[in-house]
Amino acid sequence: MRLLSHNLLQCNVKNCKSNNFPLKIQVDKSNIINCEFRKEPLVKLIPKLDWNALAITVHNLAKNKEFPEKFSPALLDDQKFMQELHRILMETHIIEGALICEGCNKRYPIKNGIPNMILNDEEV
Amino acid sequence: MQGKGGKQVKLKHIESFLSDLDNFEQGEFSKLKLEQHMTPANVAALCVSMVAEIEENLEDQIVGDFGCGTGMLSCGMLCVGAGQVIGLELDSKYAQITLDTLEDKFEDPSMYDIININVKHWQPPTLNGKLFDTVVMNPPFGTKDEGIDVVFLEKAFQTCSGNVYSMHKSSTRKFLQKKAEQCGYEFTVLQEIKFPLPKRFNKYHKKEVAYTEVDFILFKPKKMIPQIKQQQNEEKKVNIQE
- Kindly report the backbone phi and psi dihedral angles of residue A82, in degrees, each rounded to the nearest multiple of 5, phi listed first: -60, -35
Pick the residue from chain B with its C-alpha nearest to A1. Answer: B113
B2 falls in which pLDDT band (50, 70, 90)?
very low
- For the cut 90, the answer to whether the pLDDT of residue B32 exceeds it is no
Residue A124 is assigned to a structural domain of this protein:
no
pLDDT at position B9 is 60
Residue A62 is assigned to a structural domain of this protein:
yes
Residue B128 is assigned to a structural domain of this protein:
yes
pLDDT at position A65 is 77
Residue B168 is assigned to a structural domain of this protein:
yes
Could you tell me the residue range of the domain that residue B38 belongs to?
Answer: 7-241
Please tell me the distance in Å from A48's CA to the nearest CA on chain B. 4
Residue B175 is assigned to a structural domain of this protein:
yes
Q: How many CB pairs under 8 A join A and B?
A: 100
Residue B222 is assigned to a structural domain of this protein:
yes
Q: What is the mean pLDDT of each run of 10 residues along chain A (124 residues)?
A: 95 93 97 93 93 94 84 94 95 97 97 97 91
B144 falls in which pLDDT band (50, 70, 90)?
confident
pLDDT at position B171 is 95
CA gap B133, B64 in Å, rounded: 8
Could you tell me the residue range of the domain that residue A68 belongs to?
Answer: 3-117
pLDDT at position B5 is 45
> What is the count of structural domains for chain B?
1
- Amino acid identity, residue A113? G
Q: How far is CA B55 from the centre of its chain?
A: 14
- Identify the CATH number of the domain in which residue A29 sits: 2.20.25.10
Q: Which of the 8 DSSP states describes residue B81?
A: T
Residue A82 is assigned to a structural domain of this protein:
yes
CA gap B99, A5 in Å, rounded: 14
Q: Mean per-residue pLDDT for B157-172?
A: 96
Q: Do the chains contact at A90 and B95, CB–CB below 8 Å?
A: no
Q: Do the chains contact at A117 and B115, CB–CB below 8 Å?
A: yes
CA gap B11, A50 in Å, rounded: 38
> What is the count of structural domains for chain A?
1
The 10s digit of each residue's pLDDT in B188-210 is 999 999 988 766 665 555 556 78
Neighbouring CB atoms inside 10 A of B182's CB total 8
Decide which of B118 and B233 is more confident: B118
The 10s digit of each residue's pLDDT in B74-122 is 999 999 999 999 999 999 999 999 999 999 999 999 999 999 999 999 9
- Identify the CATH number of the domain in which residue B88 sits: 3.40.50.150
Q: Which residues of B touch A (CB under 8 A)?
A: 59-62, 83-84, 86, 90, 92, 95-96, 99, 108-110, 113-118, 121-131, 159, 161
Residue B1 is assigned to a structural domain of this protein:
no
Residue A84 is assigned to a structural domain of this protein:
yes
Residue A123 is assigned to a structural domain of this protein:
no
pLDDT, averaged across chain B = 86
